[in-house]
Amino acid sequence: MVQHIFVGGCELDKSYSGPKLDVTDEGKYQITSDFVEGMIEWFKNGKTLPKRYVWEIVLGAYEHFFKEESLVTVDIAEGVTCDVIGDVHGK
């Protein structure tokens, strides 16, 4: 079952002077490598993102991860071992 997320979010604070998200012709925010690099520097200077940009990052992550399979099969050749590091969830 597909869950729908409210896409409206909140407005961007007009006084925000940090890295900017690009806007597509359809009016959708787009995360670029320039934005990510600028965001990293912004964070290093102790600054935060506006709620609108945080919302867009969450929506982008949701859209990306929703398309990915949550359980995959990995074939390992006989005599070969595989170390799994980190959390692994599934059936």
Tokens matching residue 42: 């912004």
Identify the pLDDT of residue 80: 95
Identify the pLDDT of residue 85: 84
Rg for the chain, CA atoms, rounded: 19
Pairing state between β 22-23 and 29-30: antiparallel
Amino acid at 85: I
pLDDT by 10s per residue, the chain, length 91: 444 444 555 778 888 999 999 988 888 888 999 999 999 999 999 999 998 899 889 988 898 888 887 777 889 999 999 888 877 665 5
pTM beyond 0.85, yes or no: no
Query: Can you tell me the distance from the alpha carbon of 38 to that of 41, in angstroms, rounded to the nearest whole number?
Result: 5
